Amino acid sequence: MSKATDLGLLIMRLGLGGALLAFKGLSNLAGGSDVWAQNGSFIFETGLNLSPELVGLTFAIIETLGAIMLITGALFRTGTVFLLVTIIPTLLYQVSSVNGSSYIGLETGFISVVLGSVLLGLLVSGPGSIAMHPFRRQSGSSDDELASFESLS
Protein backbone atom coordinates (compact mmCIF):
# COMPACT_ATOMS: atom_id res chain seq x y z
CA MET A 1 0.00 0.00 0.00
CA SER A 2 1.12 3.54 -0.62
CA LYS A 3 1.76 6.02 2.16
CA ALA A 4 -1.26 8.05 1.06
CA THR A 5 -3.51 4.98 1.32
CA ASP A 6 -2.13 4.19 4.77
CA LEU A 7 -2.71 7.78 5.87
CA GLY A 8 -6.27 7.67 4.49
CA LEU A 9 -6.99 4.47 6.41
CA LEU A 10 -5.57 6.04 9.57
CA ILE A 11 -7.80 9.10 9.17
CA MET A 12 -10.85 6.87 8.64
CA ARG A 13 -9.96 4.73 11.65
CA LEU A 14 -9.43 7.72 13.93
CA GLY A 15 -12.56 9.57 12.80
CA LEU A 16 -14.95 6.64 12.76
CA GLY A 17 -13.47 4.96 15.83
CA GLY A 18 -13.39 8.20 17.80
CA ALA A 19 -17.02 8.98 16.95
CA LEU A 20 -18.16 5.45 17.82
CA LEU A 21 -16.20 5.51 21.07
CA ALA A 22 -17.51 8.92 22.17
CA PHE A 23 -21.10 8.78 20.96
CA LYS A 24 -21.91 5.08 21.14
CA GLY A 25 -19.59 3.01 23.33
CA LEU A 26 -18.73 5.24 26.26
CA SER A 27 -22.03 7.14 26.33
CA ASN A 28 -23.99 3.87 26.36
CA LEU A 29 -21.65 2.38 28.95
CA ALA A 30 -21.99 5.41 31.24
CA GLY A 31 -25.76 5.62 30.72
CA GLY A 32 -26.54 2.97 33.28
CA SER A 33 -29.29 0.37 33.42
CA ASP A 34 -31.99 2.63 31.92
CA VAL A 35 -29.95 3.18 28.75
CA TRP A 36 -28.90 -0.47 28.65
CA ALA A 37 -32.54 -1.58 28.91
CA GLN A 38 -33.58 0.83 26.15
CA ASN A 39 -30.74 -0.28 23.84
CA GLY A 40 -31.37 -3.96 24.58
CA SER A 41 -35.14 -3.80 24.17
CA PHE A 42 -34.91 -5.09 20.59
CA ILE A 43 -34.16 -8.54 22.01
CA PHE A 44 -37.89 -9.08 22.60
CA GLU A 45 -38.44 -8.83 18.83
CA THR A 46 -36.18 -11.86 18.31
CA GLY A 47 -38.18 -14.07 20.66
CA LEU A 48 -35.20 -14.67 22.94
CA ASN A 49 -35.89 -14.52 26.65
CA LEU A 50 -32.90 -12.41 27.72
CA SER A 51 -32.66 -9.42 29.99
CA PRO A 52 -32.66 -6.18 27.95
CA GLU A 53 -30.26 -4.64 30.48
CA LEU A 54 -27.78 -7.47 29.97
CA VAL A 55 -28.05 -7.24 26.18
CA GLY A 56 -27.65 -3.44 26.28
CA LEU A 57 -24.62 -3.68 28.57
CA THR A 58 -23.06 -6.36 26.37
CA PHE A 59 -23.54 -4.21 23.27
CA ALA A 60 -22.07 -1.15 25.06
CA ILE A 61 -18.96 -3.15 26.03
CA ILE A 62 -18.62 -4.56 22.50
CA GLU A 63 -18.99 -1.07 20.98
CA THR A 64 -16.38 0.37 23.32
CA LEU A 65 -13.84 -2.41 22.74
CA GLY A 66 -14.50 -2.43 18.99
CA ALA A 67 -13.97 1.33 18.73
CA ILE A 68 -10.68 1.11 20.66
CA MET A 69 -9.50 -1.69 18.36
CA LEU A 70 -10.53 0.36 15.33
CA ILE A 71 -8.62 3.44 16.54
CA THR A 72 -5.42 1.64 17.47
CA GLY A 73 -5.46 -0.90 14.67
CA ALA A 74 -4.65 -3.62 17.20
CA LEU A 75 -6.84 -6.69 16.59
CA PHE A 76 -8.42 -4.52 13.91
CA ARG A 77 -10.49 -7.10 12.08
CA THR A 78 -11.81 -8.51 15.37
CA GLY A 79 -12.89 -5.02 16.40
CA THR A 80 -14.52 -4.41 13.04
CA VAL A 81 -16.49 -7.66 13.35
CA PHE A 82 -17.50 -6.63 16.91
CA LEU A 83 -18.91 -3.37 15.56
CA LEU A 84 -20.68 -5.11 12.68
CA VAL A 85 -22.29 -7.49 15.18
CA THR A 86 -23.87 -4.48 16.91
CA ILE A 87 -24.89 -2.78 13.64
CA ILE A 88 -26.79 -5.71 12.08
CA PRO A 89 -29.46 -6.17 14.79
CA THR A 90 -29.81 -2.40 15.07
CA LEU A 91 -30.44 -2.13 11.34
CA LEU A 92 -32.94 -5.00 11.36
CA TYR A 93 -34.82 -3.43 14.27
CA GLN A 94 -34.88 0.00 12.63
CA VAL A 95 -36.15 -1.28 9.30
CA SER A 96 -38.73 -3.57 10.92
CA SER A 97 -40.12 -0.65 12.95
CA VAL A 98 -41.21 1.17 9.79
CA ASN A 99 -44.94 1.31 9.26
CA GLY A 100 -46.92 2.79 6.39
CA SER A 101 -46.92 6.36 7.72
CA SER A 102 -43.47 6.67 9.29
CA TYR A 103 -40.09 6.82 7.62
CA ILE A 104 -38.12 7.41 10.81
CA GLY A 105 -36.92 3.80 10.81
CA LEU A 106 -35.68 4.15 7.24
CA GLU A 107 -33.82 7.38 8.00
CA THR A 108 -31.99 5.88 10.95
CA GLY A 109 -31.61 2.63 9.02
CA PHE A 110 -29.79 4.60 6.32
CA ILE A 111 -27.13 5.60 8.84
CA SER A 112 -26.72 1.98 9.89
CA VAL A 113 -26.36 0.89 6.26
CA VAL A 114 -23.68 3.51 5.62
CA LEU A 115 -21.84 2.66 8.84
CA GLY A 116 -22.04 -1.06 8.08
CA SER A 117 -20.74 -0.49 4.55
CA VAL A 118 -17.76 1.52 5.79
CA LEU A 119 -17.00 -1.14 8.40
CA LEU A 120 -17.19 -3.88 5.77
CA GLY A 121 -14.81 -1.90 3.56
CA LEU A 122 -12.39 -1.47 6.44
CA LEU A 123 -12.69 -5.17 7.29
CA VAL A 124 -11.63 -6.06 3.75
CA SER A 125 -8.87 -3.43 3.43
CA GLY A 126 -7.33 -3.91 6.88
CA PRO A 127 -5.88 -1.22 9.13
CA GLY A 128 -2.99 -0.16 6.91
CA SER A 129 0.60 -0.09 8.03
CA ILE A 130 0.15 2.79 10.48
CA ALA A 131 -1.35 0.66 13.22
CA MET A 132 -0.43 -1.17 16.36
CA HIS A 133 0.32 -4.78 15.43
CA PRO A 134 0.97 -6.44 18.80
CA PHE A 135 1.02 -10.02 17.49
CA ARG A 136 2.60 -9.56 14.07
CA ARG A 137 6.34 -9.84 13.59
CA GLN A 138 7.92 -8.93 10.33
CA SER A 139 10.58 -11.43 9.39
CA GLY A 140 14.06 -10.01 9.30
CA SER A 141 13.11 -6.55 10.56
CA SER A 142 13.49 -4.66 13.78
CA ASP A 143 10.83 -2.74 15.66
CA ASP A 144 12.32 0.49 14.31
CA GLU A 145 11.28 -0.44 10.78
CA LEU A 146 7.59 -0.67 11.59
CA ALA A 147 5.48 2.10 10.08
CA SER A 148 5.23 5.27 12.11
CA PHE A 149 4.23 8.87 11.57
CA GLU A 150 7.86 9.71 10.83
CA SER A 151 7.91 7.39 7.83
CA LEU A 152 5.22 9.47 6.10
CA SER A 153 7.57 12.34 5.38
- Long-range CB contacts (< 8 A, 24+ apart) of 22-26? 24/63, 24/67, 25/60, 25/63, 25/64, 25/65, 25/66, 25/67, 26/64
Closest CA to 78 of 40, 112, 115, 127: 127
pLDDT in tens, 29-59: 999 999 999 888 877 777 778 899 999 999 9
Domain boundaries, the chain: 3-133
pLDDT, position 22: 95
The values of phi and psi at residue 18, to 5°, are -65, -40
pTM of the full structure: 0.79
pLDDT, position 109: 76
SS3 48: coil
pLDDT in tens, 70-94: 999 999 999 999 999 998 887 877 7
pLDDT, position 149: 42
Q: Which amino acid is at 139?
A: S
CA 147 to each of CA 6, 10, 33, 140: distance values in angstroms, whole numbers, following the listed order: 10, 12, 42, 15
CA 94 to each of CA 11, 39, 114, 122, 123: distance values in angstroms, whole numbers, following the listed order: 29, 12, 14, 23, 23
